[in-house]
Structure 1
Amino acid sequence: MVVPVKFVVACAAADDIFVIATIPDELPVDAEFTRIYYLCPDTESVWHYRDWPNEQVVSVCLRRARDGVKRAACALTGEGDIEIANSSGQTYEKIIGAGLSGERALGAVTRIQEIGSTLFVCGSFGQVYRRDETGWTPIDSDLVKRGESALSSSFSDSASISDSMLRQLTQSLQKAPNFNDIGGLTETDVYVCGNGGNLFHFDGLTWTKIETGTSSILTSLHCVSSDEILVAGKDGVVLSGNVRSGFRNLGEFFPGSYIWSVRKFKEKIYLGTLQGLYVLEGSRIRLLTSEKLDGKAQIISLGNVSDNYLWISTDRHAFRYDGESFTFYQHGDNTAY
């Protein structure tokens, strides 16, 4: 029996390797299970997979090879469990304090990324963790204080909660630093973005809040260079800039909807949305189409490790783009889509 799978998150591991975390459609509501696929076009079977039972992956990233360290795919759960896997096997780590059930009880973590040669994780309520020689360390005290301040300002000693208090609480929660993405080029040049238009920079010691001019939820960022950081999110907002010169708004291209992934590839900016894949051309956007890729495709991830190929994942399909044409990779369980 063929059971379709939903693609949840993905990342490029090489020009010829795309890592995709999936959930079977018929998984019981109260169950947690992740099947991680490795799409390798140059191998005979193309699709390889490994299961991670009892866990739900929310983010995957590449750990690059360096002296004494092999390339690996890293998978993160909302509770801060991490799998680091490659051809040598799998190792597992835990971010102590992360997640709803952690000792900090600040909520789920959301994204893992390698920045420089260090793994970072961000999450709700201002959480940011860095992996050092002794393990995972929180580096977010200033950010968490902002979240605590946003919440405390919303409550009073009154036994009853009025409609106005509920509205104020909702507004405060929307402004709290709940982070959706983290990225950077070095450990002393890190950006993190999230709800309420929140965008922060870390120089290795301190966090600086960056004015964005928007209160939209920011969902994705791509650090092209130290001077060009792309940030995107709700209403199709796209920001470009850096902490030194500030950010400018390139436009809001999808009112009421979201950009889930932003990527610069071959000097063009690509936008992964709930209504397909777009390329930004000046002040306008253009829809790109191919087999199984149209204005109804829900793009969950764009990624690349070079300027040779851009990997694209929808919630059901995977593609590789060379700047001119798309190659579609049919997943055997999703032929009905």
Structure 2
Amino acid sequence: MVVPVKFVSACAVSDTMAMIATIPDAVEGDAKFTRIYYLNLQTDELWHYVDWPDHEVVSVCLLRATEDRPRAGCAMTGGGRIEIAKSQGATYEDIPGAGLEGSRGLGDLTKIKEIGSRLFACGGMGQVYRRDPQGWVAIDDDIVGAARRLLEAEPDGGSDRATQMRQRVERPRALPNFNAIDGTSENDLYVCGLGGNLYHYTGSWEKVDIGRQNILTSIHTVSAEETWVAGQDGLVMRGSARAGFQSIGMLFPDSYVWSVRRFRGETYLGTLHGLYRLVGDRAVLVKSEGLDDRTHVIAMDSVGDDAMWIASDRHAFLHDGAGIKIYRHGDNP
């Protein structure tokens, strides 16, 4: 029996391989199950998979090879359980205190990413973790402290009841629940999330004022002076903490950009209504086989400037600079 799968996270492993976390459509209710695919263009059978029962992966990333270790694919659950899969097999780690049911009780994690030579993870209530040689450590005390104070603050005493109720509703929307993390090195990284929260880390945290409250969903750092941030209402910004961020525009009112990627000198935007290329301050729909204004684009990633992987919720695509080729998943419509 063929069971369709929904793609939930994807990353580039190389120009010819992508890692994709999926959830079979047959998984129902509170059940947890993840099927992780490796799409390898250098093998006769393109799609290979491993199952991770009883776990729901929210994010995957590449751990690049060094002199001391081979490359690995990393998959993380919202609770901070991590599978590190190498060709020789997989190992498992837990981020202490992370997740909704962790000892810190701060909410689920959302994203894992290698930045510099370390893995980082981020999530609810300002959580940010770094994987050091001795294990995972939290580097978020200042942000988490501010989030706790905001959540626990009483409404203004002089306000009328309606204003107090509004404050109780609006304050959680301003919490630094992080959706994405990226950077150039261990001491030059960004996290972004709800309420227009954008933070920059250089050994300590600094909040970057963007002058907006939009939910921020995606980051791509190109260099120390060029970071792209996108999110609610199609907000797209470019800049750096040092020079400030400039808004390109609100390109999709009442919609979101879920992924932003700079590739071969052009900026691409992934939405639930297609893949777009930024032309000046306009978003132009990219059309190709399997790509149109009904395509749910969930991720874009690359290891260099030769090829960019694009994942929809059902299929994968490879952009080689000359064109985009679809790699259909055999179980999906």
Q: CA deviation at 1:166?
A: 3.6
What RMSD, in angstroms, separates the aligned Cα atoms of the two structures? Answer: 1.4
Unaligned runs of 5+ in 2: none
Within a 5 Å distance, the mapping from 1:53-64 to structure 2 comes to: 53-64=53-64
What is the identity percentage for the equivalent residue pairs of Structure 1 and Structure 2?
A: 53
- Given the alignment, which residue of 270, 279, 289 partners 1:291? 289
What TM-score do the two structures reach when normalised by structure 2? Answer: 0.97
Taking a change above 3 Å as real, the CA distance of residues 85 and 190 of structure 1, as seen in their structure-2 partners, is same
- Given the alignment, which residue of 247, 253, 256 partners 1:255? 253
CA distance in 1, matches of 2:320, 2:154: 50
CA distance in 2, matches of 1:156, 1:182: 33
Residue in structure 2 matched with residue 14 of structure 1 by the alignment:
14
Residue in structure 2 matched with residue 306 of structure 1 by the alignment:
304
Residue in structure 1 matched with residue 135 of structure 2 by the alignment:
135
CA distance in 1, matches of 2:53, 2:154: 39
Q: Describe the superposition over 1:281-331 as per-residue Cα deviations: whole angstroms up to 9, x where unpaired.
A: 111111011111100101000111111111100101110011231111111
CA distance in 2, matches of 1:238, 1:304: 20
CA distance in 1, matches of 2:77, 2:85: 14
**3-state SS in 2 of match to 1:224:** strand
Residue in structure 2 matched with residue 245 of structure 1 by the alignment:
243
C-alpha contact 1:154 1:172 (8 A) present in aligned 2? no
**3-state SS in 2 of match to 1:196:** helix
CA distance in 2, matches of 1:169, 1:317: 41
Given the alignment of the two structures, is residue 194 of structure 1 paired with residue 210 of structure 2, yes or no? no
Q: CA deviation at 1:82?
A: 0.3
**3-state SS in 2 of match to 1:11:** strand
Residue in structure 1 matched with residue 104 of structure 2 by the alignment:
104
CA distance in 2, matches of 1:68, 1:323: 33
2:228 is aligned with what amino acid? L
CA distance in 2, matches of 1:51, 1:114: 23
Residue in structure 1 matched with residue 49 of structure 2 by the alignment:
49
Within a 5 Å distance, the mapping from 1:1-337 to structure 2 comes to: 1-154=1-154, 164-204=163-203, 206-334=204-332, 336=333
1:77 is aligned with what amino acid? T
C-alpha contact 1:73 1:86 (8 A) present in aligned 2? yes
Unaligned runs of 5+ in 1: none
CA distance in 2, matches of 1:96, 1:165: 36
What TM-score do the two structures reach when normalised by structure 1? Answer: 0.96
